[in-house]
């Protein structure tokens, strides 16, 4: 897509067709790092080609690894057996949380000196809980500007991993993911990680554990708050599985599944299904609660309109702890529902690419919705009639947040054409989103 300050889409009345999903961002960045840390060569298939994964690839190359992009979203990574060749580097991590957090933990185990920075918004996204966890094992990490936030400086230090490492789990599950992936590198004895307080986004931790097992490290979970990493007695803790195929992105699937409900369908997504390891496939269950007709196979999900006589979705109240990203799609789908939709336990939205609760409330009001926002919830009531829908002349702002742009494409099924500002922000995870969207709407 050429660089566009804005695009106008809609109004649409029908969505129909199928979409082959890009690779999962969460899986792609995890397997890139695991492949880099392992012994052997890994061929990664259906790897997401987007800004966030290019950030990780470029950082690994700066650290001395061979990371070769090939045709058809295949990437070949030569592992370094846990030791990065480069011990002094200044790494720019963009706004990729799935890259900066696990890489910070892995770098703290290296005995080198590294600086990690990003775009302005990255310097507003918290990293304190991860740094606190790493400091417990002797890591030397300093904040360059604001306490608790990047940029950070990692200095060479002697790591002494204790039998118990504690980390908070109520801000981001990525902090726990980072520790789980990094601590096996120097775990001479078994290491226990204990989560303090609530652990949000648990399905993302399950992705981490399943992928670590593919690379030879099986973490045990004696209870819901504890994780035990096995001892690394050989020094070669991660071993390449040879080839690994990345699932389609379940978060990206949510927009097309919602289209299948709002636009009568059928719309089928290919590359993710009922056997997915991603928690965001539960979005389909939430859509079913709203009245959508859903069927699924091993690697596909299809939505064919709604079951209600009115042809409209139902408003619901739902706990979104386990689907924080896909829950954003529910907020815009609520524009086409009868009755209010309340999304609970979404505090993590506040520390994402933008303050997503505030941004979502502002933009939904622009098209005529009634919105109530709280510290960890949002309530959306659709416009009461077609005449109450608004067509904002200033367009929908996207806040340099890919999910805001993709979510609000659904609002083009209202009675007015819609202008979306800075549509290119979708390059973070789905560069071809609007081209794929155009193929299934009319």
Q: Write b or e for each residue in 178-198: b if 16 or more Cβ atoms lie within 10 A of its Cβ, otherwise e.
A: bbbbbbbbbbeeebebebeee
Q: Where are the alpha helices (DSSP H) in 70-156?
A: 97-108, 128-135
38 token code pair:
């392992």
Q: How many residues are present in the chain? A: 442
**Element housing 92 (H / E):** strand 88-92
Contact call for residues 209 and 28 (beta carbons, < 8 A): no
Q: Which ranges constitute the DSSP H helices of 23-71?
A: 25-37, 51-62
Token digits of residue 343: 């999304």
CA 11 from chain center: how many Å?
29
Task: Identify whether the C-beta of residue 151 lies closer than 8 Å to the C-beta of residue 117.
Answer: yes
Contact of 93 with 100, CB cutoff 8 Å:
yes
Bridge partners (DSSP) listed for residue 152 = 116, 143
Q: Which of 336, 384, 335, 337 minimizes the C-alpha distance to 360?
A: 335
- Please state whether 94 falls in left (phi above 0), alpha (psi between -120 and 50) or beta: left
Dihedral over Cα of 398, 404, 406, 407: its sign:
negative
Cα–Cα distance list, 334 to 99, 186, 230 (Å): 32, 48, 45
- Residue 291 to residues 189, 326, 383, Cα–Cα distance (Å): 51, 17, 19
Give me the active site residues, please. Answer: 325
Measured distance CA(326)–CA(312) in Å, rounded? 20
Q: CB–CB of 140/155 below 8 Å?
A: yes
- Joined together, the tokens standing for residue 235 give 């020094």
Tell me 356's DSSP state. H
- CA distance linking residue 157 with residue 302, whole number of Å: 51
> Which of 151, 134, 230, 246 has the alpha carbon at shortest distance from 191?
230
Residue 441 tokens, joined = 């709407």
């Amino acid at each position: 897509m050429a660089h566009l300050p804005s695009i106008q889409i809609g109004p649409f009345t029908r969505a129909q067709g199928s979409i082959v999903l890009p690779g999962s961002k969460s899986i792609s960045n995890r397997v890139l790092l695991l492949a880099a840390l392992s012994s052997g060569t890994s061929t990664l298939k259906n790897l997401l080609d987007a800004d966030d994964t290019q950030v990780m690839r470029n950082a690994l190359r700066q650290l001395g690894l061979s990371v070769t992009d090939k045709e058809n979203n295949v990437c070949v990574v030569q592992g370094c057996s846990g030791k990065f060749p480069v011990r002094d580097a200044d790494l720019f991590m963009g706004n990729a949380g799935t890259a900066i957090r696990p890489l910070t933990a892995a770098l703290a185990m290296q005995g080198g000196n590294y600086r990690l920075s990003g775009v302005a918004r990255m310097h507003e996204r918290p990293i304190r809980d991860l740094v606190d966890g790493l400091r417990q094992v002797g890591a030397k990490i300093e904040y360059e500007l604001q306490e608790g936030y990047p940029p950070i400086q990692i200095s060479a230090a002697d790591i002494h991993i204790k039998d118990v490492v504690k980390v908070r789990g109520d801000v981001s599950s990525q902090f726990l993911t980072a520790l789980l992936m990094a601590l096996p590198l120097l775990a001479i004895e078994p290491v226990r990680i204990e989560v303090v307080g609530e652990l949000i986004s648990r399905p993302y931790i399950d992705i981490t554990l399943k992928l670590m097992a593919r690379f030879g490290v099986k973490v045990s979970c004696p209870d819901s708050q504890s994780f035990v990493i096995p001892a690394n007695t050989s020094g070669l803790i991660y071993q390449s599985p040879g080839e690994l195929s990345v699932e389609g992105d379940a978060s990206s699937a949510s927009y097309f599944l919602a289209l299948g409900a709002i636009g009568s369908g059928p719309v089928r997504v290919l590359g993710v299904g009922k056997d997915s390891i991603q928690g965001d496939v539960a979005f389909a269950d939430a859509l079913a609660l709203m009245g959508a007709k859903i069927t699924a196979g091993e690697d596909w999900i299809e939505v064919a309109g709604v079951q209600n006589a009115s042809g409209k979705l139902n408003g619901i109240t739902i706990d979104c702890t386990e689907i924080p990203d896909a829950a954003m799609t529910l907020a815009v789908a609520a524009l086409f529902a009868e009755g209010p939709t309340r999304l609970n336990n979404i505090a993590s939205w506040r520390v994402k690419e933008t303050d997503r609760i505030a941004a979502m409330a502002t933009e939904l009001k622009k098209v005529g919705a009634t919105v109530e926002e709280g510290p960890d919830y949002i309530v959306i009531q659709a416009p009461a009639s077609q005449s109450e829908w608004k067509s904002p002349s200033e367009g929908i702002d996207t806040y340099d947040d890919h999910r805001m742009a993709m979510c609000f494409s659904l609002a083009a099924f209202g009675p007015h054409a819609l202008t979306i500002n800075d549509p290119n922000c979708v390059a973070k995870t789905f560069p071809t989103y609007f081209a794929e969207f155009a193929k299934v709407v009319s």
